[in-house]
């Protein structure tokens, strides 16, 4: 079992909140711990971005809770009504959805305060909630800063290699069709998670001017890496969807497609390795001539088949999208290669790659 940084940060935030509440003599300290658990964020930027909104949502929840308890009492029905009203107001104010659970905790904690000296108990419990929020904020700032660059790069490499392996297996007629369909669905879902991870990386801010240009270039690079991987996945989907039509064509066409895809997937792997410094740019240049010649041979032969009497025109049109996606995949790769080359050519002192291989 692998424990992530956010799990450790949650534990540290709860510990800090409990110690602060105990040292301040506030009871019960578990309310501060609950608030810290809900307030922890996946990144420093989101922590800074949401701290004011978390405080606003808590103040809103506390005010509503006090007003309704003084007016209608502590009945469970009243608690439910206050929660609904608070959620509606938070959504209306367009605060972060992540502030809603914490606001609900604040409402419940305050509305369950004893009737005697209610205002005093409510104030103390609100202070406990704020201690938890601030503890989570400080832990986000100073403990275990996330390494999204490494995580994002390794996941992109993993997904790209996985898709390329399936493309190779498919073109060699070695792929299990039911397994391939399941894998395509699973990869689709994992690509959504990959894009969410990219957003977290993009959100992270550099507080030193010398690193900002490098970070901006990396954001563009990773966006293109993901776009290229998605194009490879889309190509795999089209190959799987049009398998019957593809292998009804003359044998030379699937062979040319297989050879061209082997060149492109190898090119894809080399570009990603180039980013982490494992191959030289010259290795990519040597492949471009073969890729260009392969594209010319494939497209010329495919156009010739249009006039071939034994090839049905409708069948030919079904294969056309595959050729289109292969060409678009090549264009994505060339653009990515250009971005990687540019990244290492300009501003060399600022363009530091901080990829670290996972420990075995």
pTM of the model: 0.70
Q: Per-residue pLDDT tens for 207-223? A: 445 566 777 788 899 99
Could you give all domains of the chain from N- to C-terminal order, each with its CATH number?
A: 5-142 (no CATH), 148-345 (1.20.58.220)
**pLDDT at residue 353 tops 70:** no
Residue 43, pLDDT score:
65
Who's near 292: CB < 8 A, 6+ residues apart? none
**pLDDT at residue 284 tops 80:** no
Mean pLDDT across 161-188 = 91
Flag the least confident range among 18-32, 91-105, 341-355.
341-355
CA atoms within 13 A on the CB side of 194: 23
Residue 348, pLDDT score:
57
Who's near 331: CB < 8 A, 6+ residues apart? none
The top-scoring range by mean pLDDT among 75-79, 246-250, 294-298 is 294-298
Helix/strand/coil for 87: helix
Question: 3-state SS string over 71-89?
Answer: HHCCCHHHHHHHHHHHHHH
* 327 band by pLDDT with thresholds 50, 70 and 90: very high
Quick check: 28 and 1 in contact, CB under 8 A?
Answer: no
* 298 band by pLDDT with thresholds 50, 70 and 90: very high
Mean pLDDT across 48-55 = 75
Residue 360, pLDDT score:
40
Q: What angle do helix axes 148-171 and 252-275 make, rounded to 10 degrees?
A: 160
**pLDDT at residue 9 tops 90:** no
């Amino acid at each position: 079992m692998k424990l992530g940084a956010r799990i450790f940060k949650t534990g540290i935030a709860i510990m800090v909140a409990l110690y602060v509440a105990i040292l301040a003599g506030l009871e019960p300290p578990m309310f501060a711990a609950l608030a810290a658990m809900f307030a922890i964020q996946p990144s420093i930027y989101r922590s800074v971005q949401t701290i004011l909104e978390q405080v606003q949502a808590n103040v809103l929840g506390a005010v509503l809770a006090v007003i309704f308890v003084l007016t209608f009492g502590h009945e469970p029905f009243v608690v439910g009504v206050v929660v609904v009203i608070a959620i509606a107001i938070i959504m209306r104010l367009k605060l972060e959805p992540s502030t809603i659970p914490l606001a609900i905790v604040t409402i419940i904690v305050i509305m369950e305060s004893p009737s005697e000296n209610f205002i005093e108990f409510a104030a103390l419990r609100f202070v406990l909630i704020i201690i938890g929020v601030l503890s989570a904020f400080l832990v986000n700032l100073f403990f275990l800063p996330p390494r999204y660059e490494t995580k994002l790069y390794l996941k992109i490499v993993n997904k790209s290699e996985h898709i390329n392996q399936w493309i190779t297996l498919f073109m060699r007629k070695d792929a299990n069709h039911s397994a391939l369909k399941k894998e395509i669905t699973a990869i689709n879902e994992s690509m959504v998670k990959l894009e969410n991870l990219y957003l977290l990386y993009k959100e992270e801010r550099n507080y030193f001017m010398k690193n900002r240009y490098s970070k901006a270039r990396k954001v563009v690079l990773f966006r293109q890496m993901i776009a290229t991987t998605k194009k490879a996945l889309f190509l795999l989907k089209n190959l799987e969807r049009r398998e019957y039509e593809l292998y009804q064509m003359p044998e030379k066409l699937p062979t040319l497609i297989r050879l061209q895809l082997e060149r492109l997937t190898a090119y894809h792997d080399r570009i990603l390795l180039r980013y982490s410094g494992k191959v030289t740019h010259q290795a990519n240049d040597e492949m471009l001539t073969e890729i260009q010649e392969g594209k010319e041979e494939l497209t010329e032969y495919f156009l010739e088949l249009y006039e071939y009497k034994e090839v049905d025109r409708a069948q030919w049109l079904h294969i056309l999208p595959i050729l289109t996606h292969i060409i678009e995949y090549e264009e994505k790769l060339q653009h990515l290669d250009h971005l990687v080359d540019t990244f290492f050519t300009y501003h060399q002192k600022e363009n530091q790659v901080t990829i670290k291989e996972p420990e075995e």
